[in-house]
Structure 1
Amino acid sequence: MRSPALLLVLSGLAVPAFAAIYTKPLQLPRITYDYVIVGAGNAGLVVANRLTENPKIQVLVLEAGISDENVLPVIVPFLGPTATPNTPFDWNYTVTPQTNLDNRAFPYPRGKILGGCSTVNYMTHHYGSSDDYDKLARDTGDAGWSWNNMQKYIQAHEKFVPPADGHNTTGQFIPEKHGFKGVTSISLPGNSQGIDARVLSTLDELKSEFPFNPDMGGGDILGIGWAQSSIGNGTRSSSSTSYLRDANSRPNLHVLIHATVTKLIPNGFKNGRVSFGGVMFTSTNTAIRLPSFVYATKEIILSAGSIGTPQILLLSGIGPKKELSAMGIPTIIDNASVGKNMSEHVLVPNIFQVTGSESLDELLRGGSFLDTSLAQWTANKTGPLSNSVTNQLGFLRLPQNSSIFQTVPDPSTGPKSSHFEFVIANFWLNPGISVPATGRFFTIVTALISPTSRGFVKLASTDPFKAPIINPQLLSTAFDRFAIREAVKATKRFASASAWKDYIIAPFGSNNATTDDEIDAHVRSLASTVFHPIGTATMTKAGASWGVVDPNLKLKGAEGIRIVDASVWPTIPNAHTQGPTYLVAERASDLIKADQ
């Protein structure tokens, strides 16, 4: 979707500035803090905000990326897909060739900017199934992670606001499931689309397979309903524009950007364990890249994400001894789980050609429609650009009598959880692949939500500026291949409803597949990911022989390091992962405060 010309146009626009952010190490007023947080993404900025509520606590956040100030592609909601891949706001990772996807390698976007992935994602926002949290509580032996306990953090996190167009939202969400006095703005779709009525008509016609869900934001995710997005007043609401903006005038919070962390430094032993208190980083905003050091008297909070966190641990000598030795890195803590157990949602775009002028494809091509829409958004933050990529989405289960369950146990986190997702978009939605020069399109993206495939992240080099090896090993199990095939079949049944007969002309490209073999080939040729990696620093029971962190998120076998990001989830949630990550960070903040 990204258009270089479009990015150039947007770069000339301006928005209100943030308070000062440090850009060079010498600007920092101190080098010793109570807490040093590595990563200013979804989780890191939550923790920074909550800890600095106490004016006596000194916090430094180190962020490798740039400021999000005046970066319109990450502020205008509909332009979210233009923020990645291969931009200055992206780590610009690539996965290894995927054996089960025709050996294709493809971009793997992660936000390298204040707000992290919350600044470059597609803004879909919910928290997953209640089953996800109850399973997490069972897996960790900590009832504090259960849904009954975690729901309260929705109130602390969420500020549910009216949509950009101010329409009547009655029947589109359940207010009792939401918070209205939190930090991050969440809203329903802010611009109606021509297909909205068609989707609702389909849900009515095919309700036995595609039931309507009045609100997926409160733990009950099955069915299809109105999307909720991290958008307020027609603009993206990221952890930077919410949690950081809420706290960045506090004198006890310092944020340094352009700071790539290269290693965690031990400072002795405590309670019979290696203790860590130092962070080595390199500024990428200076003429000569020299190492700098800062120190934490209480804890280092590692919030670098599911790729960055294991890379930093491995570079610091924390990980599988065999792998570290092969790289010539002395092993400080031998932990075979670091970088393993990676899980990801597989994405398949199922694209249809449509007739008429309802689709939004012309927004992606530039021209007068974009000019008019941009003028409207600039004037009052309304119109098609005030919206995310979808007005409706949903989570669905395979039938109980599916043949795969004769040989494979159900991998979902529980009976209220899904196996796959629909994301419905009234335009060409194929991440990383530009819209064709002509034609009108409608897309039902399918995503595998309960994958059984597991991959890994490991070092490619001891150079911290070299990307690690990222191999999610997508669709490497029989269940995953079966489930995504059935998901694609479900899109065909959805699109066959009478509401689409005067709109859809034909499936586009390989989406015309009908047999199982043809559908499998369609999947292999187009599938990528939803960019939701988890598990590479898995949380397990305190006495478990595997895993990276305890239920209190402290690094196993160490003192002074806590990990707070999506990497701690052992099983991928039934959600676009920013919502669950926010809740983890809110509880983590309470856990950290309890130890002060």
Structure 2
Amino acid sequence: MAPSHHFFWLLCLVDLCLGKIFTAPEQITSRRYDFVVFSMIRSDWSCYVVQPGPFAGCVVASRLSENPNVRVLVIEAGVSDNGTDSAVISTPILAGQGAGTVFDWNYTTTHQVGLNGRAFAYPRGFVMGGSSSLNAMIYQRGPRDDFDRLASVSGDPGWTWDNLQEFIFKNEKHVPAWNNRSDAGEYNPRVHGHGPLLSSLTATPWELDRRVMQTAADHSDEYPFNLDLNSGDGLGVGWIQTSVGNSARSSSSSAYLHPALDSRNNIDLLLHTQVTNLISSGSGSKLTGVQVSQNAHEYEFAATKEVILSAGSVGTPQILMLSGVGPKEELQKFGIKSVVDLPDVGRNLQDQAIVGLQWEAKAETLSGLLNDPAAFSAALAQYAINKTGIAAANSVVNSIAFLRLPDGSPLLKGGDPAAGPHAAHFEFAFLASPLGSKQRVELITGNSPQNTFLANDKQVGPTTGNWVSIAIVVQSPTSRGSINITSSSAFSYPTIDPAFYTTAFDIGTAIHAVKAAQEFFSKPAWDGFIGAPFSDATNLDTDAKIEAYVRKWAMSNKHPTSTARMSKNSDKSGVVGPDLLVKGIRGVRVVDASVLPFAVGGFPQAQVYIIAERAAALIKDAWCLN
């Protein structure tokens, strides 16, 4: 059976000792972590347990270890992010190509009613840094409306955009691309900070991007140019910023965990060890530790302060339910004793569906490189030698647009699901290549290329020519899915049902967005550049034809949220309060995208970093660690 939970961190207030990296619990039996020697350890030390997946726990663990009196042991189920084949996750041009490899949990969705019954892969990071080591690296914080709505829903003004500025600046820093080209006029330096996570703009703008910006300039009423989409203004056309610095992916592991391991003697790492459940006290009112497993051997670690769970929108609800925290009736089906009945655990799953449209291009795009194995191999060889060249930056997607439905749209008659007037209903990402080309991952893994054009799920296309794509995303979906356990075993995968396009708003917005994309490429700025659409996207001239196309080809944008959503402490609904503590039980806090009540108006990566930075501050304040 496949392993289940991402990874756990045990943080204990003990004396300092030299930090090391371990691959098995028995390797550290002679160290001061007494609990690893026995099947059950009770300790008088004050401890925290953190499971960071996709990546928020890296931030929390690093920030807590800033206090020299805090001893940190990192216990992870996944693999190292700098070992064998790690180039596929660290090389910028290979962004997203770690999906389906050893770095991926290799989940699969349920058959989607709204997508003609299709099921498909659901990548999540099985590696240090979680999904921040696996994603497409886009760093967009989204509109201030998202955070202000979070503050309103939670009843905590500390979550407003204005009050989070300290943590925004503490997380990220803008740096130049590898070639040091001038990016003046493409971002606003005043909205970027001094944090360990590095972000940058592309090193290689394409003719496609120039025409995107020209369209915005020519039609500013429809497509206003946004100097920096990380400014809190979430609408308009702008440049994509990615978590790339020093010619490599900047992940929560490389930015937070590795520096802590390299510079502090109070943080250690234990790899290849997974959690099976959380341990509650005899009364069940407090979570006191964690049970982990490696090679069929189980160990229990006590946590006398609190458990901090950051397993992501899939892993967090699964662990909570296996530990007796969740819908009581659902747990009873699998013989799991209910510790606290929280019906919203695993519910309210929100994800953003994505579908690609492609056109021939009458000028050079990245397709030429991706379709030429010799040229692409040469680019990877150059990168391996000196970390320069086209592989040293994200050159696939450089420009983006966040747009809204017209004010009078009938789709809004039932209410506006976006966070506010400055939050988008849909998104265009402009790609100077076929979306999702397999050429990149096949070359890096040594497999023979089969199809260099794979724009949508199982869509096969040409292997020659120049192509461009628009990736269309419904940014504020109203569909609600779920995560459900399938047994009482931690080694059984949960079911993942994003419930894509199961509301009239979602499919209606997708149809509107396809027509808007066609309109965008019909503007004069595209004369002489855009050719015919790819054959699968020809004759999309009625709503019915567009709907059929979307339902045939759409897939997940891999942005799951809301399965342990935040609400006011006084609300009976929700899973965590504004302090991220799980309702109805003492000693456990959730820090990941699952706490977000709604899908994000930007990209989840940036928002999770911000949440994690504030969470670390809340924990420090709670236990007087500042």
TM-score by length of 1: 0.92
Shift of 1:222: 0.4
Distance (whole Å) between structure 2 residues aligned to residue 435 and residue 584 of structure 1: 40
Distance (whole Å) between structure 2 residues aligned to residue 233 and residue 571 of structure 1: 33
Aligned with residue 594 of structure 2, among 544, 567, 591: 567
Match status 1:511 vs 2:518: no
Aligned with residue 239 of structure 1, among 252, 270, 279: 252
Q: Which residue of 1 aligns with 2:179?
A: 165
| Aligned 1:369-448 pairs, distance under 5 A | 369-388=375-394, 389-406=396-413, 408-429=414-435, 430=455, 433=458, 436-448=462-474
Distance (whole Å) between structure 1 residues aligned to residue 375 and residue 200 of structure 2: 25
Match status 1:533 vs 2:560: yes
Can you list the C-alpha shifts for 1:174-208, whole angstroms capped at 9, x where unaligned? Answer: 111111x2110011112222322222222223322
Q: Which residue of 1 aligns with 2:131?
A: 117
Give the letter for the 1:353 counterpart.
E
Shift of 1:530: 1.0
Q: Which residue of 2 aligns with 1:51?
A: 64
What secondary structure does 1:307 align onto? helix
Q: Which residue of 2 aligns with 1:217?
A: 230
Match status 1:346 vs 2:353: yes
Aligned with residue 339 of structure 2, among 332, 335, 346: 332
Distance (whole Å) between structure 1 residues aligned to residue 600 and residue 482 of structure 2: 18
Q: Which residue of 2 aligns with 1:481?
A: 507
Q: Which residue of 1 aligns with 2:11?
A: none
Q: Which residue of 2 aligns with 1:555?
A: 582
Q: Which residue of 1 aligns with 2:448?
A: none
Is the contact between residue 355 and residue 456 of structure 2 (CA under 8 Å) also seen in structure 1? no
Distance (whole Å) between structure 1 residues aligned to residue 352 and residue 130 of structure 2: 19
Cα 1:302–1:142, aligned 2, differ >3 Å: closer, same or farther? same
Aligned with residue 364 of structure 1, among 360, 370, 381: 370
Q: Which residue of 1 aligns with 2:168?
A: 154
Distance (whole Å) between structure 2 residues aligned to residue 543 and residue 416 of structure 1: 29
Q: Using the aligned pairs only, state the percent identity.
A: 42
What secondary structure does 1:372 align onto? helix
Q: Which residue of 1 aligns with 2:27?
A: 27
Match status 1:457 vs 2:483: yes
| Aligned 1:122-141 pairs, distance under 5 A | 122-141=136-155
Distance (whole Å) between structure 2 residues aligned to residue 261 and residue 535 of structure 1: 22
Cα 1:455–1:499, aligned 2, differ >3 Å: closer, same or farther? same
Give the letter for the 1:280 counterpart.
Q
Is the contact between residue 157 and residue 182 of structure 1 (CA under 8 Å) also seen in structure 2? yes
Shift of 1:453: 0.8
Q: Which residue of 2 aligns with 1:5?
A: none
Distance (whole Å) between structure 1 residues aligned to residue 208 and residue 500 of structure 2: 32
Shift of 1:278: 1.5
Gaps of 5+ in 2: 1-18, 36-42, 436-454
Aligned with residue 493 of structure 2, among 460, 464, 467: 467
Aligned with residue 611 of structure 2, among 572, 579, 584: 584
Is the contact between residue 268 and residue 276 of structure 1 (CA under 8 Å) also seen in structure 2? no
Distance (whole Å) between structure 1 residues aligned to residue 370 and residue 285 of structure 2: 52
Q: Which residue of 2 aligns with 1:15?
A: none
Distance (whole Å) between structure 1 residues aligned to residue 564 and residue 352 of structure 2: 17
| 239-248 or 34-43, larger mean C-alpha shift | 34-43
Can you list the C-alpha shifts for 1:537-579, whole angstroms capped at 9, x where unaligned? Answer: 0111011101111110011111111100000000112111010
Is the contact between residue 36 and residue 61 of structure 1 (CA under 8 Å) also seen in structure 2? no
Is the contact between residue 198 and residue 499 of structure 1 (CA under 8 Å) also seen in structure 2? yes
Shift of 1:497: 2.1
Q: Which residue of 2 aligns with 1:275?
A: 286
Match status 1:266 vs 2:280: yes
Is the contact between residue 81 and residue 122 of structure 1 (CA under 8 Å) also seen in structure 2? yes
Cα 1:362–1:23, aligned 2, differ >3 Å: closer, same or farther? farther
Q: Which residue of 1 aligns with 2:3?
A: none
When the two structures are aligned, how many residues end up with a matched partner? 567
What secondary structure does 2:103 align onto? coil
Can you list the C-alpha shifts for 1:93-143, whole angstroms capped at 9, x where unaligned? Answer: 111111111111011110010010100000000211100111111101100
Shift of 1:300: 1.2
Match status 1:75 vs 2:90: yes
Gaps of 5+ in 1: 1-18
Q: Which residue of 1 aligns with 2:6?
A: none
Can you list the C-alpha shifts for 1:328-351, whole angstroms capped at 9, x where unaligned? Answer: 211111110100011111111111
Distance (whole Å) between structure 2 residues aligned to residue 252 and residue 490 of structure 1: 54
Distance (whole Å) between structure 2 residues aligned to residue 100 and residue 122 of structure 1: 25
Q: Which residue of 1 aligns with 2:303?
A: 296
Is the contact between residue 457 and residue 555 of structure 2 (CA under 8 Å) also seen in structure 1? no
Is the contact between residue 383 and residue 391 of structure 2 (CA under 8 Å) also seen in structure 1? yes
| 438-447 or 482-491, larger mean C-alpha shift | 438-447
Distance (whole Å) between structure 2 residues aligned to residue 435 and residue 221 of structure 1: 34
Give the letter for the 1:131 counterpart.
D
Q: Which residue of 2 aligns with 1:227?
A: 240
Shift of 1:307: 0.1
Distance (whole Å) between structure 2 residues aligned to residue 365 and residue 281 of structure 1: 45
Distance (whole Å) between structure 1 residues aligned to residue 619 and residue 181 of structure 2: 41
Is the contact between residue 235 and residue 403 of structure 2 (CA under 8 Å) also seen in structure 1? yes
Can you list the C-alpha shifts for 1:33-92, whole angstroms capped at 9, x where unaligned? Answer: 6212112542000000110000111223332210001400111111012111x2111011
What secondary structure does 2:303 align onto? strand
Distance (whole Å) between structure 2 residues aligned to residue 111 and residue 470 of structure 1: 15
| Aligned 1:491-502 pairs, distance under 5 A | 491-502=517-528
Distance (whole Å) between structure 2 residues aligned to residue 509 and residue 260 of structure 1: 46
Shift of 1:432: 5.8
Distance (whole Å) between structure 1 residues aligned to residue 73 and residue 401 of structure 2: 39
What secondary structure does 1:185 align onto? strand
What secondary structure does 2:132 align onto? helix
Q: Which residue of 2 aligns with 1:96?
A: 110
